[in-house]
């Protein structure tokens, strides 16, 4: 009986690969729930206002990535993105903050909405004169 060295190496590599521990990456990207935003009731055209956006982070591994803002007409929707990286994270729940700069170029009513912890959209209104 001949010994086929190539086939032995092939099966040995499969066996080693199947038995070696898998690397835990423990990475997830999530849209955070917004706790609150603070929109002034009025502004003027071309006046830049800062809108603080407070969002939830579920553990110590959560790091802010970006604030995605989409708009349809005069309605703006906020979706903060948080990246959780790590397999062993501190079990803390906290509210973090980021700011959105808004500069209206026309008069009218602007709506700012976000998904809240009750699984509904909350809407704040800004009147621009």
Rounded to whole angstroms, the Cα distance separating 122 from 117 reads 10
In this prediction the pTM is 0.77
**Containing domain of residue 46, as a range?**
24-128
**Domain-embedded: residue 13:** no
Annotate 59-95 with DSSP letters as a single string.
STTEEEEEEEEEEETTEEEEEEEEEEE-SS-----EE
- Condensed to tens digits (0 to 9), the pLDDT of residues 65-107 reads 999 999 999 999 999 999 999 999 999 999 999 999 999 999 9
**Domain-embedded: residue 18:** no
- Condensed to tens digits (0 to 9), the pLDDT of residues 45-68 reads 999 999 999 999 999 999 999 999
Domain count, the chain: 1
50 touches 100 (CB < 8 A): yes
């Amino acid at each position: 009986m001949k010994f086929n060295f190539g086939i032995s190496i092939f099966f040995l590599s499969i066996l080693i690969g199947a038995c070696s521990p898998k690397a835990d990456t423990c990475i997830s990207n999530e849209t955070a729930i917004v706790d609150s935003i603070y929109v002034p009731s009025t502004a003027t055209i071309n006046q830049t206002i800062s809108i603080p956006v407070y969002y939830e982070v579920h553990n110590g591994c959560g790091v802010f990535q970006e604030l995605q803002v989409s708009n349809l007409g005069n309605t703006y929707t906020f979706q903060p993105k948080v990246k959780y990286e790590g397999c062993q994270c501190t079990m803390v729940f906290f509210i973090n903050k980021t700011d959105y700069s808004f500069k209206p170029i026309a008069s009218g009513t602007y709506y700012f909405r976000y998904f809240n912890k009750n699984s509904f959209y909350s809407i704040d209104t800004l009147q621009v004169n």
